[in-house]
Structure 1
């Protein structure tokens, strides 16, 4: 598999227009001056600090850490979706931050392999933090060579949210659990001017839902093979694509879903313009109270012959981890203090209680102030779990799969063309 983070890939990332466009995204400093050679200053690069869910809790945690460690300064760099690009640019100049907080997906899949970040397995054991991590989370952050890419932190449940009040208004008596029931519900909702399932068909939210629906007829091993290799020609994959196309052409998804984004999706659901959405924990936490009180969470409806015995949801433990950079190894004592603090049960509990975050660490705390997040945490055996493909998709195929997703959500696109679009996404990988 070709990695975009080879030396050649790094040079391409850090040159010309790419560098010019990513540098302004930093909060308070440029990517190339992000690192601080002062051994008493820890530089952390994160997506938390502005409007991202959990930001207030994170900033408060930084304040507590500073007070508990008065001799250690913390410089907090903030980026949004361009964090990985900005980090790569700073790494090219050997001025990267010491710790990076980001998910395991797309570009970051290759970081440890090319030395952009370091294997943290030894640190996890030496600092006695392994037992704080849920076993499934540790497995997801461990690569094929046994290296642990980062310290796991945020996780997420990803159920289906159903606006019970809108379903009642349309005369839908029960939450749909089969494809036929979902199609019937969609027809009734449309008759009342309500969009059925809203989805970001033009971004990652649509890509995840498409993968979930395709897995209706795939075992976990079969799904892992399909998303690792780009081979969607198995009987189960073809049946899953057929099922998706049937639902799409029956009007299950919101109009022009192929052009919608995650922001559009959450807006439609939160304003009650749509009745159903596939919502990860951070989206569930943002559902307004007046909508949340008549919203239920469950799984995606199945159809005859499904390999699952219950409606499906997605779960992942790779939403955010603490990656250690080569520069960070030069300040490893400071990094250890920071990670021990962030792994403390009281710090973890505050993210759960104050921000409605699911965690990859052991905790008995529930998101009681975020009822939908708590409800998703309690689903347990009432649903079946589909495979989140993020850690299996080759980095070079990640963005082409978004394009394939938009094609797939375009009504009238045949099952054969959907399969071809998915497989074409892998040709550059």
Structure 2
């Protein structure tokens, strides 16, 4: 799996153009200057700084870190979804931050392979932090050559939330666990003017739900192959696409789902305009108390002959990690202090209790104020698990797959057209 950036281009010394573009890319959050070469300043590039779940906790922890280490200052650069591109631009100019807090997805998959970030396995062991990390998280963050790309930190459960009050209002007596039950529930909900399953069919939330449904008839090994190669022609993948089309054309998804976004999805569920959503734990943490009080979490309903014995969820341990850059290696003592602080059990617990985050680290803390997050953490044998495809999709196919997702959620689009759109995403990316 290769980055769209070449090894030579990404790691070459920054040209005048790269140096000129690095700073505008960082405008609006912060910029790098000569003081950042000071060993007493640790520059952290993060998505936690605005409205992202966990941002208030992160800011509070940085303040505490400053109090404990008066000679060491954390300087945060804040970006949203554009963080990977901004980091790559700054790396080309050799002006990259010291630590990066971002998920393992799309372009970041190749960073360590290309030398844009360090293999941190030795640091994890030298600093005695390996036992703090869940084994599954270490496995997901380790590449095929045995390199540990980053220090794992945030994780995510991705169950299905059901508003039981809305289901009861429509005459649906229990949470659907089969496709036929889901179709029947959708008909009853629509008769009451309630949207059944809300989904961001025009963004990553729809992409993930589509991938989950396609995996209905795939084993994990088969799913890895499908999403690594883009070959959806096997029987299991074709049956999964057929199942998705059956559900879509039966009215299971909200109207015009192909144009909806993750924000629309969460708004519809949180305001009780829709009865069901497939949502990761950061979205579950935002469900208002009045809605959460009559919501249950479970798995996606299955079709007959499925490869899974129980309704499925997704889990991932790659939501946010601490990556160390080549510049960070020059300040490794400061990096060690910062990561030891963030890995403390009490620091980890604060993200759980204050922000409802799932963590990739060992902890006994439960999200008491975030009941749906806690309920998702407790899901066990009553659900099965499918792959989150992010680790296997080539970076060049990531965005084209979202375009293909919108095509898939358009009612009336044939299964053959959906398959063609998915496979084209791998050829045209």
TM bracket (short chain): over 0.9
Tell me the distance in 2 between the aligned counterparts of 1:293 and 1:35.
50
Tell me the distance in 1 between the aligned counterparts of 2:101 and 2:352.
17
CA contact (8 A) 1:156 1:359 kept: yes
Write out per-residue CA displacement over residues 48-106 of structure 1, whole angstroms, 9 at most, x where no aligned residue.
01110001110111011111111101101111111111111111110100000000000
Say whether residues 1:171 and 2:174 are aligned partners.
no
The CA deviation at 1:381 is 1.4
Aligned length: 427
- Aligned position for 1:123: 123
- Aligned position for 1:86: 86
Say whether residues 1:255 and 2:262 are aligned partners.
no
Tell me the distance in 1 between the aligned counterparts of 2:338 and 2:34.
18
Tell me the distance in 2 between the aligned counterparts of 1:15 and 1:84.
21
- Aligned position for 1:29: 30
Question: Normalized against structure 2, the TM-score is what?
Answer: 0.96
- Aligned position for 1:8: 9
Give 4+ residue runs of structure 1 displaced > 3 Å after superposition: 7-11, 13-17, 19-28, 32-35
The CA deviation at 1:114 is 1.0
Tell me the distance in 2 between the aligned counterparts of 1:144 and 1:350.
33
- Aligned position for 2:265: 265
The CA deviation at 1:380 is 1.3
CA contact (8 A) 1:5 1:111 kept: no
CA contact (8 A) 1:22 1:85 kept: no
CA contact (8 A) 2:228 2:394 kept: yes
- Aligned position for 1:245: 245
Tell me the distance in 2 between the aligned counterparts of 1:276 and 1:64.
40
Write out per-residue CA displacement over residues 266-289 of structure 1, whole angstroms, 9 at most, x where no aligned residue.
011111111100010100000011
Residue 96 of structure 2: SS of its match in structure 1? Answer: coil
Consecutive unaligned residues in structure 2, runs of 5 or more: none
- Aligned position for 2:155: 155
- Aligned position for 1:300: 300
Residue 385 of structure 1: SS of its match in structure 2? Answer: strand
CA contact (8 A) 1:4 1:10 kept: no
Q: Could you say if the C-alpha distance between residues 84 and 170 of structure 1 is closer, same or farther in structure 2, counting changes exceeding 3 Å?
A: same
Say whether residues 1:377 and 2:377 are aligned partners.
yes
Q: Could you say if the C-alpha distance between residues 194 and 86 of structure 1 is closer, same or farther in structure 2, counting changes exceeding 3 Å?
A: same
The CA deviation at 1:35 is 8.0
Residue 381 of structure 2: SS of its match in structure 1? Answer: helix
Q: Could you say if the C-alpha distance between residues 26 and 141 of structure 1 is closer, same or farther in structure 2, counting changes exceeding 3 Å?
A: farther
Tell me the distance in 2 between the aligned counterparts of 1:337 and 1:294.
43
Tell me the distance in 2 between the aligned counterparts of 1:34 and 1:239.
58
Counterparts of 1:405-420 in structure 2 under 5 Å?
A: 405-420=405-420
Tell me the distance in 2 between the aligned counterparts of 1:389 and 1:34.
40
- Aligned position for 2:73: 73
Q: Could you say if the C-alpha distance between residues 72 and 200 of structure 1 is closer, same or farther in structure 2, counting changes exceeding 3 Å?
A: same
The CA deviation at 1:382 is 1.2
Residue 51 of structure 2: SS of its match in structure 1? Answer: coil
Residue 382 of structure 1: SS of its match in structure 2? Answer: coil
Tell me the distance in 2 between the aligned counterparts of 1:119 and 1:422.
33
